[in-house]
Structure 1
């Protein structure tokens, strides 16, 4: 009986979390603009979505910023993780605690802080400020993804490579990075997902003419929910779901390869 109640409670939680998303996806195929009745299956809202210039412009900025921020934050985060890993005990603790701050901080605090910094430095709010903001909040997640792989790395591999004549940079490129590549890829995918999903930091640090999908959906929702938003939200949900499944699959494969799980 206790096992049944636990399973029943778990099912209720998942229904509570995902029922609204399922309804949204279903009504993205509704032939009517009304969300209170079903008038047949259609794909016209998806067609209208891709004809909407405002949404297509927001999609362009979203993809460009997500790709650039993922690539740049992955490079910086990987190098930072390697540096933190090679610090002494005290330095490592201080660096990790500093790295945790952007993760634990409410988004509104990070957003306002970055906006204040840009104003102080006379940086015009726009594409550059949004890109820098996304890179800033993605780097800690990349570091946290790469560090566990560094801890699993044999400390003597790089030393052995350099004893055989490799330069430190060559050892980094050919020995260390291939060994921690699963963590780097996971960090990059996580950075990409976080960038696509972000609203608060983007909202406070963008300028006129530059907007991403989350800001566009927010502004459209204030004027009234259109069926195109249902289609857009469904596509965004599926995109993030696929990325999360890829991350989970890579993590599972890595654990199986190391023998941590059966």
Structure 2
């Protein structure tokens, strides 16, 4: 067998080189607005165009704004509740799909992944029409239901990837030692899935906290979330206060993303090795 020839200069230049530069420029184009937003959050003046000096005053004004504090409280409540429900449903469904054989298994998997391919605004309008038909008042309940619909596919896929990499011999050994199905799940399967479940919860909470489209159609009086509050503030123009709030949200999302990657990336790598 002859050894493969190394790529020529044309391949290195026009394929690897050009693709690398295109990828780099694409990331720079995507990240440039975030960098500008974070930079002007520390601007001393009220302008979001002209830099006048370094200051942390706008972060203090964000914390002292009672409307923002109320919206943050609503977002945290909805994110926590919807993430817990979506993770519970997604984890149970993922275990059932990967570890059990039953009629309609493929249909269940497709139904759980459907919100990924459907436009979110279509789901939001459909949910609004259904809630209006059922006579349900818009508020925390409708928002949690809407955010669960958006988060379930991600939670299911994360736990499903981890469940597919589990060694079935451990469950068989527990059954041989006299453990029933519930004991096997609680003492063998669930502890191995906890990193993935925590990752699914964090990602679902982040998706809910940052959601704007579903919140727009399902929020009621007194349940304005933080993204909705920011959107209403933008109608009066971009100010360093909005930049400071955006910078804080970027920092929180990056921290959660790093935590999710630290938990979930090793699971994916191990799954690929097997």
Partners of 2:88 and 2:264 lie apart in 1 by 20
Tell me which residue corresponds to 1:163: 176
User: 1:5 Cα deviation (Å)?
Assistant: 2.6
Partners of 1:250 and 1:210 lie apart in 2 by 32
More off after superposition, 157-166 vs 143-152: 157-166
Give the structure with higher Rg (CA): 2
Please state if 1:126 is matched with 2:139: yes
Q: CA offsets, 1:140-198, max 9 Å, x none?
A: 21111111222112224323313322232221111111122232122111101111111
Q: CA offsets, 1:83-116, max 9 Å, x none?
A: 2234437622211111121111101011011111
Q: Structure 2: any 5+ residue segments left out of the alignment?
A: 1-12
Aligned residues: 261
Pick from 179, 204, 220 the counterpart of residue 207 of structure 1: 220
| SS state at 2:273 partner | coil
- Write the mapping of 1:1-262 to structure 2, written as runs, cut at 5 A: 1-2=13-14, 3-88=16-101, 91-255=104-268, 260=273
User: 1:258 Cα deviation (Å)?
Assistant: 6.5
TM value normalised by structure 2 = 0.89
Q: Structure 1: any 5+ residue segments left out of the alignment?
A: none
Contact 1:85 1:92 in 2 (8 A): no
Contact 1:203 1:215 in 2 (8 A): yes
TM value normalised by structure 1 = 0.93
Partners of 1:259 and 1:129 lie apart in 2 by 39
Partners of 1:97 and 1:41 lie apart in 2 by 51
| SS state at 2:104 partner | helix
Q: CA-atom RMSD, angstroms? A: 1.9
Partners of 1:104 and 1:10 lie apart in 2 by 25
Contact 2:161 2:268 in 1 (8 A): no
Partners of 1:83 and 1:121 lie apart in 2 by 31
Cα distance change, pair 6–149 in 1 and its aligned pair in 2 (3 A)? same
Contact 2:87 2:152 in 1 (8 A): yes
Partners of 2:95 and 2:264 lie apart in 1 by 20
Partners of 1:203 and 1:160 lie apart in 2 by 50
User: 1:257 Cα deviation (Å)?
Assistant: 5.8
Partners of 2:21 and 2:255 lie apart in 1 by 27
